[in-house]
Amino acid sequence: MDEIDDPKLSLIDHLEELRKRIFVMLYVTVAMYVPGFYLAKPAIERLQKYGCPPETELVYTGPMDWFFTQLAMGLVFALLFASPIIAYQIWKFVAPALFKHERVAISRVSGFSCFLFLFGIAFAGLFIFPAIMRFSYGMATNSIKPLLTVNSVVYLAVMLMLGFGVMFQLPIVIFFLALSGLVSLDTIRKSRPYFIVIIFIVSAIMTPPDIISQIAMALPSWLLFEISLLFARAALRKKKAKEEAEEAERQQEEAAEASTLTVPQLPEESSQPAPEGAVAAAATPAVIPNPVYHDPAEDTPSYEEFMDDEQYSDSPEDIYAYQQTSVDQSPTEKQVRIRNLTPARHFRRRNSGRK
């Protein structure tokens, strides 16, 4: 059901969706209760055989104590068997409200969280519970013998396994606080005494009311907290190195983009030889026109036009002046000589008079 993905759903619609999810979880738990109840008795017998000292006898003092103990153990198995579907229903209700990167992060952490929970259960069932039972029977004397009820032993085992499964989620909490930036790693390290007190308080709540069970849970949890700090420090160093590498790469890309905008790109050299005409044209400098003086050959009149001007005559000086303007010279030399002998305004005046 994906109605919750619709952003227009009202509060009533969300509550209705939550009700459906809860009913699905209840139906699955009830369905798993039947095989769980049949597995309760063999599980308690194995707990007595492998967790308690040899020749340990468990008794029950009430007429229905043994039956209710099996019911409680069956409920534990039912919740254990239904836990994947329960987790899936919770995820389907919560996931639409998360961003994509949050979904990816939670999906990665969930597998590690399940591993830590199962590891805590196995650690408590294989090491902590047998150690507590041996310690309890070790205090017996010749006149004082232990007489343990089955419900107290099962309760102790279940609470230890559940408590260790929850307490072994501590590394995930430390990683979340450190990597998300909500609390710095230095702050967590400086607040170590407060965390230790919280660990002992939670251990006292999660275990039966005895100091041995509390210490048995608190000491491994404290050790796990110290290991979590080491792994969190390594993860932060790796994250910082990755961010620095990304920042350096981004600066290089920005520098490359800036260079392409400011420095013109030269054409790539071709492997084929260029034509001779192209080489000559490239070698010849471009002629830049004079913005003030134009080509004086265009304004140089013929000899008849030169002599028709009233200002000139057939005198040797005028003839020499004409010859000096008509000799075959380079454009630059001719321009300089005409400018020195005859000003440009003289030609403009003469041409305007001719028109």
Provide the mean pLDDT of the chain: 76
Structure tokens given for 228: 């979590």
Q: Is the residue at 349 inside a domain?
A: yes
Looking at per-residue pLDDT, the higher value among 301 and 144 belongs to: 144
pLDDT for res 292: 47
pLDDT for res 29: 93
The pLDDT tens digits for 185-213 are: 888 888 888 888 988 888 888 777 778 77
Q: What is the mean pLDDT of residues 136-146?
A: 84
pLDDT for res 306: 54
Cα–Cα–Cα angle for 155, 160, 162, nearest 5°?
95
Looking at per-residue pLDDT, the higher value among 26 and 185 belongs to: 26
**pLDDT greater than 80 at residue 280:** no
**pLDDT greater than 70 at residue 95:** yes
Q: What is the mean pLDDT of residues 85-91?
A: 89
Q: Is the residue at 17 inside a domain?
A: no
Q: Is the residue at 346 inside a domain?
A: yes
pLDDT for res 290: 47
- How many whole angstroms separate alpha carbon 155 and alpha carbon 153? 5
Three-class secondary structure assignment of the chain: CCHHHCCCCCHHHHHHHHHHHHHHHHHHHHHHHHHHHHHHHHHHHHHHHHHCCCCCCEECCCCCHHHHHHHHHHHHHHHHHHHHHHHHHHHHHHHHHCCHHHHHHHHHHHHHHHHHHHHHHHHHHHHHHHHHHHHHHHCCCCCCCCCEEHHHHHHHHHHHHHHHHHHCCHHHHHHHHHHCCCCCHHHHHHCHHHHHHHHHHHHHHHCCCCHHHHHHHHHHHHHHHHHHHHHHHHHHHHHHHHHHHHHHHHHHHHHHHHHHHHCCCCCCCCCCCCCHHHHHHHHCCCCCCCCCCCCHHHHCCCHHHHHHCCCCCCCHHHHHHHHHHHCCCCHHHHHHHHHHHCCHHHHHHHHHHHC
**pLDDT greater than 90 at residue 218:** no
**pLDDT greater than 90 at residue 35:** yes
pLDDT for res 4: 42
Q: How many folded domains does the chain comprise?
A: 1
pTM of the model: 0.61
Q: Which residue has the tokens 């030889």?
A: 273
Q: Is the residue at 335 inside a domain?
A: yes
**pLDDT greater than 60 at residue 232:** yes
Residue 298 lies in domain: 293-354
Q: Is the residue at 342 inside a domain?
A: yes
Structure tokens given for 268: 């790539």
Count how many residues are written for the chain.
Answer: 355
